[in-house]
Structure formats: C-alpha cells, structure tokens
A and B are shown apart, each in its own frame.
Chain A
Amino acid sequence: MTQRKLAIFVEGQTEKIFLENLIGEIAGVKNISFRRTVVTGNTLTILRQESEPPENPASPYLVLLADCQNDERVKTVVLYQRPYLERANFSLILGLRDLHPNPLSSLQRITSKLKYGVPTSGVATHILLAVAEIEAWFLQDQNHYRQIDPALDSTTFKARFGFDPATESAESVQEPAALLHKIYGSVGKAYRKDRKRVERTVSALDIAQVYLTLPNRLPHLRDLIAHIDGFLKAESTLA
C-alpha cells in the first residue's frame, strides 16, 4: 500500500499558487493531498493555513509543493533535498525555474545545462524552465483577460502591446510579468507578485485551456504537464 509522491520545487508563491490550481485541474476527481512547504536555508518547513484540510495519508497521491521564496536557487534545494525525498519514497521530483533575468537568447545554452549535476539514477528528477517566466503562461491565456476586466479585449493587444495571445507564443516575450502589468494597467489595474494579485490572475485563468490548449504554443508548459500527467497516470497502489 504505497502512496505515490511528487515533489515540486518552485521559485516563489506565484508558481506555487498556479501549480496548486493546475494540478487540482489535472487530477480532476483524483484524491490528491497537498503538502505546502517553504524553504528556509535549504530546510523544508511545512506551511499550514488555518482553512486548509489536513494532509490525508490515505490519499493515493501526495504532492509536496516547496516555495523556495526566491532566497535559494531551486536547483540547489532540489539537489540538497533529493536524498531525503528518495528515502521518503517520492517517485518524482521537479524543479521549476525561470529563464528570467537571463535573455531569451540564452535559452538554448541554459537548457543544455539543466541536467548539470542532477543524478541520473535513483528517483526521477528534472529541472524545468518557465520561459521567460511563469507569467508567460498567464499571458497566453486569452480567455482570462475578460475575467480581470471586461474592457480587456485581447484581439486588440497586437496593435497596442505588440503581442497577440491567439497566434503568438508568449515564450518569445522577454518580460512577461511586465507585459501583463502593462496590459492590466491599460484598464487601471495592476499585476504584481503579491499574493492577492497573483490569486486574482490565477483564479481568472481558464485552467482547462491552460491544460489542454496552451501547451501547443508553450513547449515548456507542455514539458511540465507531461511530467505531472505521467505521475498521475501511473497507478498508485492506494488508488
């Protein structure tokens, strides 16, 4: 009777909030238990919110979400925590980092180095990229703008902001968060990385579209989803 366990290490709360929503959507009716943690000085501290349901050891799947709080580099924490997670029978470890502030021109170079230092045996471990940052995935979802403000018409964005979410890939945008802020700003709203505003954007996303359609235009989101899909498709012996 084994619970399947996935650990995902992210840079900050934006990625954590997004992934909780995304994994919840992907899992659908599957009974997933989340363990939310923050990383301080390479150690994991379990973060509990009062409204949160307690972790359920009977759930067939456990997803540990680790927020590195932008203090520690994701890869470093992954490599440090990996032996402990392996000992605790985790079957997959993912680290999600931004390309930003490196330029888009460095993408190939950085991609070629993602595996550097990551052991190839033992628990499957992958370092994934959000290009240039996770806000690219928000930027791509043309359905969410109307939820933020009915006056936001994404068909006008190409002319006004130089980017058309319906036809272009947001992975070619150098500073997605800044562009999102600019777009929201056109109707007097703002995008910032504080919890309230990130939650507003994430709850406005059409998560089904993010899962099913956006990966066609966002190869790095596709990689992430493929790993999560693979984890959930493998049968838990508790399921």
Chain B
Amino acid sequence: MKLDSIQFTEYEGQDREWILEDTALDTITLVVGKNASGKSRFLSIIASLGKLLSGNASQLFESGKYLARFSNGETKFEYILHYENKVVVGEKLSKDGDTLLDRGKDGAGTIWAEKLGAKIDFQSPVDQLAAKVRQDAIQHPYLAELHNWASLLRHYQFGTPLGRDHFLLLTQTPATTGESSVSEIVDPNEVTKLYIRAFAQYEEPFDQAVLRDMKSLGYDCTDIGAEGADIRVIQGPPMAWLFLQEKGLKAKTSQVVMSQGMFRALSIVIHLNYCIFRKIARTILIDDIGEGLDFSRAQSFISLLISKSIQNNLQLLMTTNDRFVMNGVPLKHWGVLSRKENKVRITNIKTAPKIFEEFEELGLSNFDFFSTNFFEEGAK
C-alpha cells in the first residue's frame, strides 16, 4: 500500500495551530526545504500516524487531525483521524468512496462488517483508534491493509548514528532467543540484529547484495559480517558488532572504527536490502538523506536508493537540504517545503507544473530551483 497524500493540523483553532497543507506524494518524493522549515516534522507526522495505526505508540499524542489517502493498486482509501487531549474526537475510513468506519468522540460508531454484509454499531475506548482495536480479518479485512502499511513503515534519520553505537548482546541474537523472524525489527539502531536475521534467512545472496551496493558507493569490500565485539573495546557482557572487510586492508573494519558516513550508508543499505529480500511493498522515510556524505557518495547513494526503490516497489519519502542530493534527484520527484507563519506547503510538479517546466529549460542545477526561490514565483 502506498501513501498518496497527507494533510495534518495540530492544535486546530488555537494560537499554536500548525498546519501541513494537503500534500500529494509520489512513489519517490524528495522534500527539500530550509532549516527549521518543517522537513523533519513532515516525516515525523507520517511516522506518528504509522505508530498510532500499528499500535507502536503507547498512547495518543496531545493534538492532531490527519487526512491521509492511500492506494493499493486501483483501490483507494481515505483515513481521517482527529484527536485532542489524547482522546479521539473523530475517525473515518472510506474505501473507493464508501464509508467503512465512522466514529465520534464518545467512541461510538458504525463499521462495515464484510461477512455480515452490513454496518454494525460499535463502542471503542475513547483513547484508542477504532482502526486498531477493531481489527478482525473476517469482518473488517480492510483494516488489516491499513495496519500492514503502518507496521511496515520505516523511519530513518540519516543524521543520527543509525546503530553505530549499538551492539547486540550475544544472548539476544535471534538464534539464542529463538525469536520469530516474522516479528518486525522497527528500531533503526538494531542493525546488527537485523543483519544477523537477514543472513540467517537469505545467506550469501544477502551479503553479496549489500557488498554490491557498498561498492557502488565507493566502498569496495570483500566481506561483511557480524562477530563478537573485541572485549578490549566493548566492556561488559559479550556483544556482537558489524564488520566490513575493505579491499586492500588486512584487518577488518568494525563498526566502531568505520567513519560515520560509511556506517550510516551501511546501515541503510542493510535495512533497505532486508526490505527488498522480503519482497513486501512498504513506505520508507529517510530524514536528512546524504548528511555526512561527500559530494560523489551523496549522489551515488541517492541514485542507488531511488533505483532500488523503483525496482522493488518501495515508496521512498526523503528530506534534505544537501545540494548534492538535490542535484542528484530529478525535479519530478521534488517537493519544496515552505512555511508561512503556521502553514506549511509543499510545492511539487503537480501543484505548480508550469514553474517546474519553465525551470527545466533554464539550464540551471536543481539546487538553484530551491536556493533562488524559483519554486515560489518562477522567472520574474
């Protein structure tokens, strides 16, 4: 399932009201914007919706009003969720224009029951999403589609260590815990654990895929693996860490001595390949993509992510203010985020086709589209 658009309002009607205007999203969308314009918040809004729908949020947040549209092939879903003071005040799901679920602030509502062929009344807790608590594969199978999108959603913040400072207790490897390979590893920092699971499931082809991708980024390596961490470096109980064997070096390069940029790239490559090997369509969010990578690696990395996502039916939503990343992504994938007071708008080729076409003919780099504010007014 793919997220087609998102609209969000927080603290509606109050002084601290903040609005993300209705934003169309493509299979590949790169959101660019100045610092503090709301790029990270944009992805966090989507990630939060995912947490709420998947049940990964322990409780409702303070305030929020979502309008999210999804598509699964030809089928279109529209989901509206409104909560205030950690209580749901409205929730509605429709499929191809037919309302399937509708509830109000007291938790009471109606829901379409597939097997019964009728709408039935229900009463859900006021602080719970009906779309979550009413899961029923027989009567409400459409809720599973929403839930799947949410539980498969991944959110990576490229400017963070992405697991470089996380090691895996040897007593907690999937082999030792007997953990099911079906349960999702959601935490981006659990990359060692994810790698061990991926190798256990897909063996050598998984390693080769990771090594191929790393090579395309300029990191020429002959081996990747997880091994017991050096106890002189990591004290305490036995731990595992990731390593790469770089071509031309005698010693392995463990995650603690990898450069931050190299490890971030490795972490995303492992996560991405695991998604691809599992052959499940999903939405992936990457904030601040390219942060910490040099010019050529940033461009190679973005090209790799885009081509793999397109080939493997992944929806990739990213943010950046990195010039090299912007120049590496065709404008048709762009969304330029701008904020006026409390309203955030994303301009893309669908909302301003003439401006995008006009810019393509100027012979300037994509970055100039953003840096000259061309996206707002076109050529004066």
**CA of A42 to CA of B358 in the docked complex: distance in angstroms?**
23
**CA of A86 to CA of B219 in the docked complex: distance in angstroms?**
39
CB of B368 within 8 A of chain A? yes
Interface flags, B340-380, vs A, CB<8A=1, else 0 = 00000000000000000010011111011000100000010
**CA of A78 to CA of B51 in the docked complex: distance in angstroms?**
47
CB of A110 within 8 A of chain B? yes
Check B362–A75 contact: CB distance below 8 A: yes
Q: Which residue of A lies closest to B363 (CB)?
A: A75
Check A73–B361 contact: CB distance below 8 A: no
Check B364–A117 contact: CB distance below 8 A: yes
Name the interface residues of A47-74: CB closer than 8 Å to any CB of B.
Answer: 71-74
Q: Which residues of the partner chain B approach A73 to less than 8 Å between Cβ atoms? A: 363-365, 368
Q: Known: A113-B379, A116-B379. Contact between A102 and B367, CB under 8 A? A: no
User: Would you mind naming 29 contact pairs between A and B with Cβ atoms under 8 Å apart?
Assistant: A40-B296, A41-B295, A41-B296, A41-B324, A42-B323, A71-B299, A71-B327, A72-B327, A72-B365, A73-B363, A73-B364, A73-B368, A75-B362, A76-B365, A76-B367, A76-B368, A102-B361, A106-B361, A109-B361, A110-B361, A110-B363, A113-B358, A113-B361, A113-B362, A114-B363, A116-B379, A117-B364, A117-B368, A117-B372
A interface residues (Cβ-Cβ under 8 A, vs B): 40-42, 71-76, 79, 97, 102, 106, 109-110, 113-114, 116-117, 127
Q: How far is the CB of B298 from chain A (nearest CB, A)?
A: 9
Q: How far is the CB of B277 from chain A (nearest CB, A)?
A: 32
B interface residues (Cβ-Cβ under 8 A, vs A): 295-296, 299, 323-324, 327, 358, 361-365, 367-368, 372, 379
Q: Which residues of the partner chain B approach A117 to less than 8 Å between Cβ atoms? A: 362, 364, 368, 372
Q: Which residues of the partner chain A approach B363 to less than 8 Å between Cβ atoms? A: 73-75, 97, 110, 113-114, 127
Q: Which residues of the partner chain B approach A127 to less than 8 Å between Cβ atoms? A: 363
**CA of A169 to CA of B324 in the docked complex: distance in angstroms?**
38
Q: Which residue of B lies closest to A102 (CB)?
A: B361
Known A-B contacts: A109-B361, A113-B362, A117-B364. Give 13 more (CB < 8 A): A41-B295, A71-B299, A71-B327, A72-B365, A73-B368, A74-B363, A75-B364, A76-B364, A79-B364, A102-B361, A113-B361, A113-B363, A117-B362
